Structure 1
Amino acid sequence: MTSYGYRRPDVVITGIGMVTPSGADTSTAWKAACAGQSAGAADPRLAGLGVDFSCAVSGFDPELVLGGDARRMDPFTQFAIAAARAAVADAAPTDGSWDTARTGVVLGTAVGGQGTWEEQGQRLRDRGPRAVNPLTVPKAIGNIAAGSVAMNLGLHGPSLTLSTACAAGTTALGYALDLLRAGRCDVVLAGGTEAAVTPLVSTAFDRLKALSRRGVDPSGASRPFDEHRDGFVLGEGAAVLVLERADDAKARGRRAYARVLGYGASSDAHHLTAPDPDGRCAQLAVRLALEDAQVDAADVTLVNAHATSTPQGDAVEAGLIERVFGRNTAVTSTKGVTGHMLGAAGAVEAAFTALSIEQGVIPPTANFQAPGPGIAEIDIVHGAPRHAPVSVAVSNSFGFGGHNAVLVLGSA
């Protein structure tokens, strides 16, 4: 293990806010995850396309949360602000307890305001330049969700967006950890947001043969590690977590969900979309995260896998889990419930992992029945939630372009 010449501050999660396909608030989303209730269903936005179903956010009224301002925002910004507000309310800062100049925002996204670009492109083609909304750019650019969260909450610390494809939410949390350790911020709102369930994105992923075509059974289409998996199901939504130093949280009497022990990242440098088949660089990210956390693989009791329900990706990840953690560490993938939320996925999965640590409950891998070919012999939680203490957990995220990001969380 690395020896540090100074005492690193402990960083904890004190607030969680979620808007997901399995629930538009944290409590509902968590209950659905523990019940293994898949959100997959036919989606009118995708009607007539090769894949016409998704895991869509339901029960979310942006105007109820944001008022008339919602009409000037792409859904990926709406989701982010709603999740951030909920996270701050959950963290319950007393008036004046946070210095807004030292409170930052770090969000991840893969595609940003894609729906706005598609809508306005159609207007340009059908009706000409004057039909294009003058607010198109500030609605759609990738950084605007983080900027809008800062504006909405009056936060003046660093505000930025990171894009590492489907690893973006986890990358954002890792960067937030660094900001707190370095003393550049006292509080960071970190997570991911995505609203990419659009005709073009769905069709593009389908053309890559990345999506499930289980249209006769949408709720059973996202099935991580299962022998009948045939691709992922597009999801959408956001999760924002409040990170702060443990001493500060204790001073204001706030109990934490979990500690953020470590973070690791690497690059496959192998292929635009496919993982390195031997998983060696994803494994490197796991090893770096464990080293940063100063824990051994044997200490880990839960792995929240990236496992998207693709044939190759799930097999590669199962192999690295077996090599690093053996066959007895509990493994789950909550994407069976939420689908693949792209840049928001890692943040949602970190939130679920923190809740597993706090409550001693591991959600089942929805739709998993039997391991598919090439899936290593690992302990995949399925069928029902598992009630067991979780002291140290790992959350994996891997993205197109070879981005690997891994968090280690522990009991507070």
Structure 2
Amino acid sequence: MSTVVAGLAYAQTVPDDVRHKPDSRARWRARYLWDTLDKDPKERWFLFKLDAILLTLASLGYFVKNLDQTNLTNAYVSGMKEQLRMNGNEYNTAISIWTVGYIIGQVPSNLLLTRVSPRIWIPFLEFCWALFTLGSYRIQNVQQLYVMRFFVGLFDGMQYIVGSWYRADEQVKTTLGKRAVIFHTAGSMGQLFSGFLQSATYDHLNGVHGLAGWRWLMIICFFISFPISVANLVFLPDMPWKAKPNWMFTEEKLKLANTRLKKEGRAPAQRISLAKVMLKFTVNGNAVTQHVWVLPWLYVYWNNSVNLYNIMIFWLKAFNKPGKPPAYTVSQINLYPLPSLGVNIITAWIMAWISDGPLNGRRWPILAFASTWNGCIAIGLLAAPLYTHRATRFVLYYLAGLSIGISGAVLLVVWGRVMF
């Protein structure tokens, strides 16, 4: 659910006549530790509540989204390939069909969010993809797999809500990197958990009630995902201009949120028109902007180049030949690639704090570093013999996890330039 990035935080603005004046120590703490630490106590408490609610819900949603997305890979190397008689191209087709569903679902889902409350629409999406994940345990052939993966992608999320509670300058400067990394590393944790879950499921449930371990994985993923949709239904706040006072946000706090948006000149969501759509594609109505036409394509290229570590799980399975004792067990195939995700999570947090702090909100230095690093890893994997230098390739696959750690920063650059 790339979905509930909606209000990942409430960036701080109060009326000028009552603005809190932080001292230099408070400003240092806000820059290098957490951006609310230089605010007055009332605003800090409000920000804490908003972060606690929205960051938690967004992270849980992204966690189960990646769990349900990654389980196909873990299932494929854990018996699905053999049971459904799949070849490599059919696996790639299943991935592509998921992507097609994802792309098709993005625009209508985001448009509906301007008309339907997020606390209704987002839980509905989460429940639907959980339901189709559950349905995957019953599939008997690859065609049924294609159908299930399409709908899991179709009901995947939207990143429209990034900015519902934010000011534009706060989205691309020094306050968002830390929150973005919490959200994005939740996705990596979902992948990490999927590997551990498939390993444990195969060891303890494979064959129980006549079901293969990979089928049990789909069932368990549903029972993990469903409560998250219920939690969003109960706790997810509405857009600031639609929200009503409740136990989370009083009328006073909602007024403050809307005052912030008005001071920036931002109005509540309005009906979509062709003129408004074209405005995002032009500058002053006549020149095509690089932000729309260049940055999204750069994100596509980057996203398709930084997943080198994902190859490792298939590389390990390739050592197991039919009719011969397996070189790696199913549990080992699922577990051995996981350290790369650990590298991903750790380096993502480090780079987020550096970009928000010492780099003062500049994202390009870490993007340049990580892209260069990724290129070096790709060259190293190309040069290392495929089956005879296992230790070298293990190290390279693990170090490849660093490159994906900048995903939050990449999204900040693309989102900030295109939307604002």
Quickly name the TM-score band, shorter chain normalised. Answer: under 0.3
Question: Is the radius of gyration larger for structure 1 or structure 2?
Answer: 2
**Bigger fraction of residues in helix:** 2
**Bigger fraction of residues in strand:** 1
**TM-score, normalised to structure 1's length?**
0.23
